[in-house]
Amino acid sequence: MLKEHLDRHGLSYREHFGNNWSLTVKALKSAFYTFGHGLTPKISGMRASELHNEIWVEGRKASLQDLNHRLENGLYANKQDALNDYQAYAAVYNEEPLMIEFANYIESHYSES
């Protein structure tokens, strides 16, 4: 199972571990900044948000590399299989559905004025 997982990423165990270790370190730093900012505003909450964003960006990049590796190396049975995998990844990174409610709130806010 581990070999199959690594093959689908196109990574060695060391590369896979390194990628995940890097994300873990950033996540821990972000958590400490978030916690620290809760204790005192002297600790930057903005830095926590920047680290969250860096993790998100790295995750997107890794996901695209995974999808490309699978496509280029014939790891999909067919086009629909590839599209299903893409759609699963795209759903994780699609923020607009989460934000659309706020756009509606802006509309209602200004329509009441």
Each residue's pLDDT expressed in tens, for the chain with a length of 113 residues: 999 999 999 999 999 999 999 999 999 999 999 999 999 999 988 999 999 999 999 998 999 899 999 999 999 999 999 998 888 888 888 766 666 776 787 788 778 65
Q: Letter for the amino acid at 36?
A: G
- Quote the pTM value: 0.75
Q: Which residues of 33-66 are buried (b: 16+ CB within 10 A; e: fewer)?
A: bbebbeeeeeeeeebbeebbebbeeeeeebbeeb
Q: Which residues contact 89 (CB under 8 A, 6 or more apart)?
A: 63, 66, 67
